[in-house]
Amino acid sequence: MALLHSVLSPVLSWTCLCSLMYIFSTGLVAAVAVLTVRRVWYSHRLSCFSKPPANSWLLGHLGQIQGREEGFQLLDDLVQTYKHSCYWVLGPFYHLVRLFHPDYIKPLFMAPASMTVKNGLIYNHLQPWLGRSVLISNGEVWSRKRRLLTPAFHFDILKSYVTIFNSSSKIMHDKWCRLVAEGKTNLEMFDHVSLMTLDSLLKCAFSYDSNCQESPSEYVSAIVQLCDLVGQRQHNMLHHWDWIYWKTQQGKLFKQTLNVVHRFSRDVVQKRRAILKAQCGVAPTSQRRKDFVDILLLTRDEDGQGLTDEEIQAEANTFMFAGETLQGRRFGV
């Protein structure tokens, strides 16, 4: 006990406590000062944009990002009020300009990719899932991938997908007829439409019939879950730091779910490459329609270089992610 006391007493001595408090408060004052200067500087630079009322000085508009219906309602109100654009402050660190009017968005879309560098706030959290895909990459990496992907979105290729869309929507429609016949008088359509989209995408991208509209599919549930988790992560400032996030319950769930998704796309790509190799690089014509993965496996740049398995998996994962989020509900953007 005496030993413990003699060890602790200098630590707890007044001078020591005072200097600790001094260091702590100086640090706090410096951090607040830096944040304030930064905030003032950004406000000045962005003063040409209107700023909607915020919840608090520190958190700004952070709580106002919402998915699903409330998000759309809020977005609608913003567009009604601010017409072309406004700017948001997200927590102490981020400033976000939101553009609504096509005239304001057009110059951004027309600008060279080297100028419109993608921001980490939205894309960083997708990196573990989507890898270095065309959605996330910038500069030279982006432009090579963009060129190699172009054939996959040729109009003639897209046209052949109409039959798939048709059959997937027929499954959904039949399901609705069945539910109505069973006496259902109203129906929340969103999840049905979402499943139908993923069903179509799996058929178009991987020629994979998941039957996810009729019975639960592990892969499809995993995609929906990952989208939810990325959305949740964006709303929680502390989870923006990797070293915190991977220790949280959500971070661990994210990793587990990610394994399911990655295993699936890796299997598809590797099996397909083996089949193509067996056919000496000739795309299947008669047995099966050329799907997204086939096209990516066969595409070559000017030097005859194709995409690696990892690169193709990244694009395939992105394709599925886009199918789930382009419906807009997940991120409320």
Which chain residues interact with ligand NAG by CB under 6 A?
162-163, 166, 170
CB closer to ligand NAG out of 163 and 256: 163
Least distance in angstroms from the C-beta of 162 to ligand NAG: 5
| Helix/strand/coil for 98 | strand
Which residues, including other chains, have CB under 8 Å from residue 25's CB and lie 6 or more apart? Answer: none
193: Cβ–Cβ under 8 A, 6 or more apart, which residues? 172, 327
Minimal distance, residue 196 CB to ligand NAG, in Å: 14
Assign 94 to helix, strand or coil: strand
Q: For ligand NAG, which residue has the nearest CB?
A: 166
Smaller CB separation from ligand NAG, 161 or 246: 161
Judged by CB, which is closer to ligand NAG: 86, or 201? 201
Q: Where are the alpha helices (DSSP H) in 236-308?
A: 242-245, 249-278, 292-298
In the bound state with ligand NAG, the residue whose beta carbon lies nearer, of 174 and 301, is: 174
Q: Is 78 left (phi over 0), alpha (psi -120 to 50) or beta?
A: alpha
Q: In the complex, what is the shortest distance from the CB of residue 164 to ligand NAG, in angstroms, rounded to a whole number?
A: 10
- Smallest distance from the beta carbon of 154 to ligand NAG, in angstroms? 19
What's the CA gap between 323 and 156, in Å, rounded? 20
Q: Are 200 and 220 in contact (CB under 8 A)?
A: no
By beta-carbon proximity to ligand NAG, the closer residue of 70 and 214 is 214
CB of 157 to ligand NAG, least distance (A): 16
C-beta of 210: minimal distance to ligand NAG in Å?
20
- Closer to ligand NAG by CB, 170 or 271: give it: 170
Least distance to ligand NAG, CB of residue 169, Å: 8
Give the helix/strand (H/E) hosting 176: helix 162-181
Helix (H, G, I), strand (E, B) or coil at 96: strand
State in angstroms the smallest separation of the CB of 111 from ligand NAG: 37
- Nearest alpha-carbon partner for 149 in 18, 307, 266: 307
Distance CA 324, CA 130 (A): 13
| DSSP letters spanning 31-78 | HHHHHHHHHHHHHHHTTTS-----SBTTTBTGGG---HHHHHHHHHHH
Nearer to ligand NAG, 207 or 313 (CB): 207
Q: Pick from 6, 330, 1, 299: which is nearest to 153 by CA?
A: 299
Which H or E element spans position 19?
Answer: helix 14-45
Minimum CB separation from ligand NAG for residue 166, in Å? Answer: 4
The residue among 106 and 170 lying less far from ligand NAG, judged by its C-beta, is 170
| Cα–Cα distance for residue pair 250/312, rounded to 1 Å | 27
Nearer to ligand NAG, 69 or 214 (CB): 214
